[in-house]
Structure formats: C-alpha cells, structure tokens
Structure 1
C-alpha cells in the first residue's frame, strides 16, 4: 500500500570557511532519514546553494539568485566561524541575509520555519587564516542575537556538530510535524526514497540498542576508570617528589641544594609525567568514541519507546536515571581533572625536561577536558529532549 510521507526541506547557510562541515551534514541527513525519518514516515531534504541553485544573472546581486532558487524551506541551519561573508548590498553577508529572511518568516508565522544556529569555536591551523575585520563582524552578529531571542549553540569539532544536529534536527522537525499545516506531503509507493544513506545500517530494535548501550558505556566507563587510576598514581608520585624535596632541604639545613641533585630530581619527575601522558593518551579516544556510540543508541532506544509503546514510562525513567548517574560520574571526573591540570600547569619552569613533560601533560589533559565537556553537553541535551 502507498504510504503518506511528510517531506521537510532543510536549508543550510554558512560562509566558505565551513565547507568541510557543509559536506559532513549530508551524512547526518542521510542517517536521520534512515533512523528518525523511516520510523516517522518523514523525509528530510537538504538544500544548499551548491546543489539547489544554478548559474544565472541578477539585476540586484548574486545572493538574490540563491534566494529565488531556494525560496521555501522548513528548517534553517546556520553555521558561522571566522568569516562573516561577502556583503550583499542590504546585508553584511549572504549568510546574514539568509538568516534574516528565515527569522522574518518566523516572526510573521512562528509555525512556518524552525531555526538552528551554530558557532564554531576552535582556533584555525594558521593565524594567517584569521581576518580581524571578518571576525569582528561575526562577533557583532552573535551579540545581536540576544535582542532577537535567538538561542544558538557552540561547537569545536565537526563530530560534535554532528552529535548536536542528530539531536536538534529531529526535535525541531517534530515541532513542525505537530502542526497541522505541514509544509509539504508526498505519497510514495514504498520507503525507497528514505533509504538513501548507508545500506549497512540495519533496522535495529530494543534488544539491539540495549546491547549497544551496555557494551559502549561499559568500554567508555572502563577507559574513564583507567584514566582516573593513572591520575591518582601521578598524584601520589608528585606527592613523593614534594616530600623528597622537603627531606633534602631538611638534610641540608636549609642550605642550597646542588644543581646536580636538583636536575636528577626534576628528570625523574619529568619521567613520571611522561609516563602518565603515555598511559592516558590512548584511553581518550576509547572513552569518547564509545560514549558517543552509547548516547546515540540511547537516543534511538528512547525514540522507539516513545513511538511504539504507550506504557514504557518505567523503562524511560530507568534509562534517564542511568544517564543521570553516568553524567554525574563524568562531572566529578571533570572537576578532579581541572584541579589537577591547574596544579600541573602552575609548576615552575625548573628544567628543560620538566618543562617539556609539563607541556605534554597539559596538552593531553586539556584535550581530555574538552572531551568530557562535550560528553556532558551531549548527555544533558539528550536528557532535555527526552524530558520535553
């Protein structure tokens, strides 16, 4: 039997410095069509100037061509980083004009379009990539959003953006789907139109996702435990080195300690710090990769509960409680790591070996803290969407 499929158009707007993210979003939409879309008889269609516009001549400006080629959509996604873009005449850039068109549509009818706006925070590979004038315009635009009651999100890596979009797009589409005046409906004979993503993706069920969650969170938790154990170990070792210094001072009756003795002590301290870095560095990707896999499966499991079952409140509450417990553990680890990072970063520059070891540990710990913060942000966003 033919099925009624609701198609939603998603327009992507951004300057040229986010080309990698623009391409990456294609994969996100394909996956959402396989998971969220197929379960809800929804098709998401990504619209970009690269694929939905064409060469032409305008009496106004080039942006006017894009505006005419992509006149309607249901969800606006805007991305900004260091570039604001090229002025269009009326606006400071094409992205700003596209945002204002979407925002005005929302003001005229808040059921007509949903808006997702993201700012990238990571630093570029080269300082030469930074244009101060462009960056100032981005910051001014960002500051103006508060007056327009626009809530935006921030990200550092494209993987983080992907996780946010996989949560936020379904939420905003569900907002639109609950409105009776749907933007566009299409009747298709089967679900082939939905199956545009990875053919290896399967139609997983509750048991599958429960197994994925258990395995992923178990691996992630064990990696976090190993990192915590390594942190406790180096904390004890650093305390031993501090006691050793105090004993040396006492033995020398507060006289100066020889440079040879000092260097030997600092070299051994540097070795301890390097050992610590070697222990935790391989654990970081194990932790974050499996945490994200677990969160992804968790979201899909909850979606099945909500859609296919009427009396699964107990299971949903249990899942939320387990997520809250996990997030609490991560927050505790984050607080401990911040304190330890500050203590390492504040070490005096006593020798080349110690300085290099300190820098190495600071870089690795800083990266790990970012991963923990991403985990908490993603987990809380999933919790928020379930509660709503």
Structure 2
C-alpha cells in the first residue's frame, strides 16, 4: 500500500581532504532510509556538490553552489580535518561561507534548521602541516562556543560514520515532531536575526534547555537523567529476569507431563506453551512502554553531559564535581553492559524455542523484534558513553 512520506534534505559540507567521510555519510543516509527514516515515514536526501551541482558560472565556484543549493535543507552537516579550505570572494573558505549561511538561516527560522559540526583529529607529517590552515581551524572551533555551538571530535573516518548514524538516529524523531508541530500551527512570523543568539546543534532544544539553567544546576540535571537511564535499564532487566524465570518454569512443566497419555499430554503441552506465549507478550508490552522513556532519558542525559563539559571549559570548574559525574557515568555504563549481556542470553533462549503453536510463533516474532530494539538502544548508549570519553 502506498504511503505518504516527508522529505528532509541534509546538506554535507567539507573541504576536499575528507572524501572518505563524505562517502560514508552517503552510506549512512541510505541505511537510515531503510530503517529509522522508513519507520518515521520520512525520506532523507543527501545534498552535496558531487551529486547535486551542475557546471555553471557565478562570482566564483562557491557562488555557483550557493545559487543551486539555495539553502534548501533541513540539516547542515559540516566536517573539518586538516584543511580549512580555499577562500572565496566573500569568506576565508567555502566551508566557512556555507556554515555562516546555515548559521544565519538557523537564527532566522528559530532553530528549525539543525547544524551538526564535526572535527577530525588528524595526524600529519611535517611536510603536510600547513600552520596557517591549522590555526584557522582552531580559531573557527574556538568561535563556536560563544555562538552557542556544541561540536564533536573524532579520530578515524569509521568513527565519524558511527557518530553520524547515532546522532541522526537521535535527531530524526525530534525533526519529525518539530515539523508536525509547525505544520499543525498557523505559519509563525520569522524571528529577526538579532532576536536569536544560539546556534542550533544536534539535539538543539535539549541543549538550550540545559544551557539556560547554568553549569551547577546542569550537574544536577545530568545526574538526574543518568539516574533515570539506570532506573529504566534496571526495570527492563527485571522484566528480563522475570521472563527468564517464566521460561524456565514452562520448560519444567513440559518435562512434568511426559508420562501422561498422549492426547492429554498434547492438550496440556499446548496450554503450557500458550501460557508461555502470553508471558512473552506481556514482556513485549511492558518493554515497549519503557523503551521511549529510556530513549528520552538517554537523549537529554547525554546532551546535558556534553553541556557540562562545554561550560566547564569557560571557568575553573570543581574537579571533585566532575569526578562524581564520572563515577555516575561509570555506574551507568556497568548497568547498561549488564543489561546488554542479559539481552543477548535471553534472545538466544527464545530464538531456540520451536514454534509449537501459532500463538507462540507470533509471540516469538514480536519478542525478537523488541529485543533487537533494546539491543540497539543499549548499544547506542554505550557508543555515546564512549564518545563522551573521547570528547573530553
């Protein structure tokens, strides 16, 4: 059956030394169009000069790109490595010009346009180092903080691919919700440029919420969200333990009817199996209620965590406070790792169950879908924990 989808454009910008990352982002977009985007009834289109620009003339090459793109995008993804880029007739580089246009666009539309900036930690040989290019990159990075920006560093191209996938998975549901809210309201007046001061970066609304309350309060916020993540993971783990116990009892009951007459044994076995299917579906129902709560806590918790470290650089922060935050983060990581191990074990147990009744077959199918969603959520959390370690 045909369905209506909403198109979101993602504009990729970088100097010419990041070809591998550009190709990897194209792979991520294609992957998301078959997974998250498909589930959200949206389609992502990656806009980049390699595929969306045709030869033409203007003030310079960047002017040609500007005129053809016309700032028609919803998400701006910028990447910098060892090169700042070639100057245009208006800015120090094409990448800087495109970023500036995106920044102004985001201010004018009240943050509807999202900006995600990434910087590669490159290792260059002496004959490759261009001091002037490196200094321009460093100056640009330093300027993002005062503009309200949160950026992400990475080491290898494959790290960027994982980051882009994880961040877009977090961003897309928010993007869709914002679009639906805007579509449901009368068209608002555009903000004047001077009325908006914050650059909109990945997880924009949550970052703004945390920044407004300041550094000390945000320490409390991040610990609150980390507690919510741990509590949610704990509830899910309790559901899993309960499910495992019920599966064990079902197996014992099956073993206990081996010696009764065959027809009675078949009827009793079917009843036990269908009861097990009911237990599985109850687990699925409770867990699917918990997953959005877990995801929301993860999104806001890690945005708050990043905000703490961004703000801590602006003054002499208390190392003891940050150390306590690290302890909380490590405890959270242990909890998630335990849950992930339990998930893998329970998934294998249920996957091996023979489809003895149609009810069990259906329950097994729904169960495995739910387990895969949970594994994805937990793995994303661990990846974000790893990213925060690299970020500091």
Q: 1:300 aligns with which of 290, 299, 307?
A: 307
Q: Which residue of 2 aligns with 1:323?
A: 329
Q: Which residue of 2 aligns with 1:18?
A: 29
Distance across 2 between alignment mates of 1:349 and 1:106: 64
DSSP-derived class of the 2:213 partner: coil
Relative contact order (alpha carbons < 8 A, sep ≥ 6): 1 or 2 greater? 1
The equivalent position to 1:219 in structure 2, one of 221, 228, 234, is 228
What displacement does 1:314 show?
A: 2.1
> Which of 345, 351, 356 lines up with 2:351 in the alignment?
345
Residue 109 in 1 paired to residue 109 in 2?
no
Q: C-alpha separation between the residues in 2 aligned to 1:63 and 1:19?
A: 27
Change (3 A) 1:238 1:110: farther
* Residue 73 (str. 1) matches residue 80 (str. 2): no
- 1:11 and 1:76 in contact (8 A); partners too: no
What CA deviation, in whole Å up to 9, does each residue of 1:26-45 have, x standing for no partner?
Answer: xxxxxxxxxxxxxxxxxxxx
| Aligned equivalent of 2:378 | 372
Q: Give how far 1:354 is off.
A: 0.6
- Deviation string for 1:320-344 (max 9, x for gaps)? 1211111011111111111111111
Over the residues paired in the alignment, what is the CA RMSD in angstroms?
4.6
The aligned residue for residue 56 of structure 2 is 57
Query: 1:211 offset after TM fit, Å?
Result: 3.0
Structure 2: state its 5+ residue gaps: 1-11, 16-21, 34-46, 66-84, 100-121, 138-154, 172-192
Greater CA deviation, 66-75 or 341-350? 66-75
Counterparts in 2 of 1:316 and 1:231: CA distance versus 1, 3 Å:
same
Q: Structure 1: how far apart are the matches of 2:31 and 2:212? A: 29
Q: Which digits, 9 at most, give the CA deviation of each residue in 1:123-152, with x for residues without a partner?
A: xxxxxxxxxxxxxxxxxxxxxxxxx97553
Distance change >3 Å, CA 249–CA 363, structure 1 → 2: same
Count of aligned pairs? 263
> After superposition, what is the alpha-carbon deviation per residue over 1:233-276, rounded to whole angstroms, capped at 9, x for unaligned?
11111111111011101455xx6864322322221111111111
TM-score, normalisation: structure 2: 0.55
- 1:348 is paired with a residue whose SS is coil
In 2: Cα distance, 1:56 partner to 1:250 partner? 81
Query: Contact 1:284 / 1:368 at 8 angstroms: preserved in 2?
Result: yes
Unaligned ranges ≥5, structure 1: 1-8, 23-47, 78-101, 115-147, 165-189
